[in-house]
């Protein structure tokens, strides 16, 4: 199975971020442009929060706020669970399951943002590992 560092490097996507003073509308435009469900909210290299489709639905639409006038800082999730490049895919899965979250920021050793993993990324890697193990077992049994 890939390490978390390998997973982040293999994603080949530009890391989608936004600053807290940008509007929710701008955040939604970026999310649509890069086809992601969440953005890391950063102040320089420091992680300030996460803005997700769930934040939009619950904190903007359901509360009757205007996307054009609402700042990301007003509706982002500020208390963010995160992992480091030293964590495993299994640890990511456990955190995401326990905390009921779909996106998990990954921080480098210096505390700067290294990337983000989604529940889809984690499930895909888990399935890949299981398929590899099954293949090895089949070779052993038939070999």
Domain boundaries, given as residue ranges, for the chain: 4-142
Q: 132-139: which pairs have CB atoms within 8 A and are 24 or more residues apart?
A: 132/1
Average pLDDT over residues 41-56: 95
Under 8 Å between Cβ of 76 and 54: no
Provide the strand spans (E) within 1-124.
Answer: 17-18, 38-43, 46-52, 83-84, 103-107, 113-118
Strand partners, 71: 23
Residue where the block lists tokens 């560092």: 5
Mean pLDDT of the chain, nearest integer = 92
Percent of the chain with pLDDT over 90: 72
Reported confidence tier of residue 41, pLDDT bands at 50, 70, 90: very high
Say what the pLDDT of residue 98 is.
96
For the beta carbon of residue 72, count every other beta carbon within 10 angstroms.
Answer: 23
What does each C-alpha distance from 63 to 37, 71, 73, 108 come to in angstroms? 20, 14, 16, 36
pLDDT in tens, 55-110: 999 999 999 999 999 999 999 999 999 999 989 999 999 999 999 999 999 999 89
Say what the pLDDT of residue 12 is.
67
Under 8 Å between Cβ of 131 and 124: no
pTM summary value? 0.84
Strand partners, 47: 42
Superfamily of domain 4-142: CBS-domain (3.10.580.10)
Instruction: Report which of residues 74 and 132 the model is more confident about.
Output: 74
Residue 22 has pLDDT above 70, yes or no: yes
Reported confidence tier of residue 1, pLDDT bands at 50, 70, 90: low
């Amino acid at each position: 199975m890939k390490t978390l560092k390998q997973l982040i490097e293999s994603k080949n996507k530009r890391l989608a971020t936004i600053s807290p003073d940008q509007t929710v509308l701008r955040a939604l435009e970026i999310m649509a442009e890069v086809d992601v469900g969440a953005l890391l909210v950063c102040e320089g290299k420091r992680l300030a929060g996460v803005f997700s489709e769930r934040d939009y639905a619950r904190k903007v639409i359901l509360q009757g706020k205007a996307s054009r006038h609402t700042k990301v800082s007003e509706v982002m999730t500020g208390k963010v669970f995160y992992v480091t490049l030293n964590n495993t895919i299994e640890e990511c899965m456990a955190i995401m399951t326990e905390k009921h979250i779909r996106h998990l920021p990954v921080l480098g050793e210096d505390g700067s943002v290294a990337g983000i993993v989604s529940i889809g990324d984690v499930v895909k890697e888990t399935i890949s590992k299981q398929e590899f193990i099954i293949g090895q077992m089949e070779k052993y049994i038939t070999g």
